[in-house]
Structure 1
Amino acid sequence: MPTPPLPQRSVAIVLGTRPELVKLAHLVRLLGPAAHLVHTGQHYDADLSGRFLTELGLPEPTLLEGVGGKPRAVQISAALTQLDALFAAEPPLAVVVQGDTNASLAGALAANSRGIPLVHVEAGLRSHDRAMPEEHNRIVIDQLADVLCAATEDNRDLLRAEGVPSGRVAVTGNTVVEAVQEHLPAAEERAALLAAHGVTADRYVLATVHRPENTDDPAALRAILSELAALAADLPVLFAVHPRTKARLEAAGLGHLLAVLTPLPPLGYGEFLALARHAAVLVSDSGGVQEETTVLGRPLVVVRRSTERPEAMDSGFAELVAPGRAIGRAVRRRLAEGEAGLRRLTAAPSPFGDGLASQRIVALLGAMASGQQPGRLSVAA
């Protein structure tokens, strides 16, 4: 699919977190000069976001101010005010947002208030858990969007059940597939990374925890770390410590539970993929990891009360558990499957698409630029 002849800086891509950078990187590169990257600063620091921009080959974004580290309402309102001024001064032909972050909601509201066509990448995800702020964000964005890029047929069906006209929905696949395929290091580099971390392929657990339902509840955080520590008696447990998790650990006085684990600083995307590719099992509460493991062919234990990505469970890659002993039991079940279980997952296709999602979204944007009205767009999935 050729890149459409879009004018320079004609597509505003609004994001605010590192997962959004990962999932939209290939789309930004395909758009080239047409892409105007706008970072709200929801998760921004030179070491992490700056590193991701460089690693993913992305241009320097327009960076908003006064958003990071603020309460949800302040983040949305501060980003919305600045985005409205930006779009008034330099109106784009379209605004693209991804997922369900506060940055995405601010971008959607700003586009809607200025009458600018809105494209929602990864539309139609639903956890049916109203305790999740992200659930509210994604529902509002889907109602505002002119073009909804659903990752799966199930996502499309959920949108139709909510009354979204079918002409506004295109099943594109999930952009995470091409992100993993593009940024997974070569076998030699992966082997070197494993050696540097002192682990052997298929003989360690890789864990990440960062969601508020786990980190803001000291009892839940203690239960998760206790289960990981018990697993470490049998094989190494690499624990990538998110800055949020580190702060909550220190505040709750739980730092001693890291003693038998192997804490890792925040990882670059390629390094994380390399470690995930060869982990015997992953334990995580991340939405993106639920998708990435289906591309990498690895088993995952999801520590959450609900998920908006049931496809990972239905296809056999992941299992949803609550904090506590269920974590250890689920991990040990996966370990007991051994090499046969890993071979089965490696051979299974990802339910999130074929790695052409970004190309399909660019084609949709090109059709919009050529004058085709939102709501009458189509794309071959």
Structure 2
Amino acid sequence: MNERVYLDHNATSPVRPEAVRAVVEIFAATGNPSSIHGEGRGARSEIDVARARVAALVGAGPRGVVFTSSGTEADALALTPHYQRGGEDQVLDVLLVSAVEHSAALRGHRFAPDRVEVLPVDARGRLDLDELEAALGRHSAAGRRALVSIMLANNETGVVQPVAEAARRAHGHGALVHSDAVQAAGRISVDARALGVDLLSVSAHKIGGAPGAGALVLVDEELRPAALIGGGGQERGLRAGSENVPAIAAFGAAAQVAAASLESEQIRIAALRDRLESALRCEFPELVLLVGDVDRLPNTSSLSLPGVPAETMVIALDLAGLAVSAGAACSSGKVGPSHVLSAMGVPERIARSAFRLSFGWSSGEEDVDRALGVFRRVMPGLLRRSRAA
């Protein structure tokens, strides 16, 4: 049986050896990080090391890193109308989000539905900055303060958003700015301070850490969103419950490796992606590259074979040994129309056939070779059926 090829790193990346070692070492020890004895202090030390490593990955201070169970929870913690700064309450009246945000931002917020405004994107999936400016001006003129949430890179297309310019404009109207950097961290350079955002969400399993850990990074360390989970006061009172020390330590280990190899890995992985895209488009001109002439993640390809439903493509490739995802949003294994591609104005026939290839730290030239072999076996049959339909 041929070895399988995994090209779905945007869904989750294989756990790095360094992260595995971190988990094993923690499981061999003991201690609650809230305890003051030696074992507890040892666990606390592991969390502090991980906090510094995650902060370094995104250009922020360690004190601002609040560990959560996932990127989704980090988004939910950030997207609240209730904040404090310096002990004083700050109430935000509206949430402004782009139409291509992850569902964690579109549906996981704590604002009332009538307090959320969805902003359009252009045909390449980038936020319309003029529409953002207009919305900010309209709300500030009415005395409403906004929270703006713009993802740094899209999970389906890899498109990188103009977050720095959006933050500049938002701050000009007194708004706070959050960015979901779950797909970007560890894949492109992320400097939260240079971006000008107030809050940033990241996740461990996208960069080769263990599942079960994420973080909300308070770039402005004086900000305090209303807690989601109340209790014992862990994570500066913002996320109660005993910390998941093994997953957090693995997160720190993965962040350290990702940061150290970032520049070379960007070049290496982009070359793999470009080689596969070029070969596929040459051999199968019917394939449509959905985004190519725009700044995007070096690891992500969004493609479509019009006439072949995305789920058919994903299943056919999976049976032949290649793991990819549908370009459409997935929930509990079900494939539906992509809100991202709809927002970009992609025709439905193309959008319903969209699928995504995403490389990562464990990908190599042999994965490109094997993936091409799978496509060569699978595509002729799919093309015949699509032409006969």
Q: Does the alignment reach a TM-score above 0.5?
A: no
The higher relative CO (CA closer than 8 Å, separation ≥ 6) is in 2
More helix by share: 1
Larger Rg: 2
Task: State the TM-score, normalizing by the size of structure 2.
Answer: 0.31
TM-score normalised by structure 1 residue count: 0.32
